[in-house]
Amino acid sequence: MSKILCGALVAGLLAVACSHTETRTVVVPANDSCSYYGYTPGTEAYRICAEREAAARARGRMAADYAESRIVVDSQDACVSYGLIRGSAGYERCVQREVSFRRPG
């Protein structure tokens, strides 16, 4: 009987030794658009969205004579480039934010 108990104990210890839990902490800015659009920080999709959004922000606001319709189209294109699906809630939020970012200040 002690052989069975020892075997069960060894099996239990091996199971515990093989389990692994990893905790990752990702710092996200308070005004983070990509998580607002539905991406999870730390994922590849989030990284792509953040890089593309940073590039769009670096280009800055449009000139005062830039047509409103062109701003909307450019905003829609940017949101698609972030990987958002047209018609989704995240896409609609993205377009609204992009339009406000692109309007002449």
Mean pLDDT of 36-44: 88
DSSP state of 83: T
Per-residue pLDDT reduced to its tens digit, 50-69: 888 888 777 766 666 778 88
pLDDT band, very low/low/confident/very high, at 24 (cuts 50, 70, 90): low
Residue 43's pLDDT is what?
92
Confidence (pTM): 0.54
Grouping H, G, I as helix, E, B as strand and the rest as coil, residue 27 is coil
pLDDT band, very low/low/confident/very high, at 103 (cuts 50, 70, 90): confident
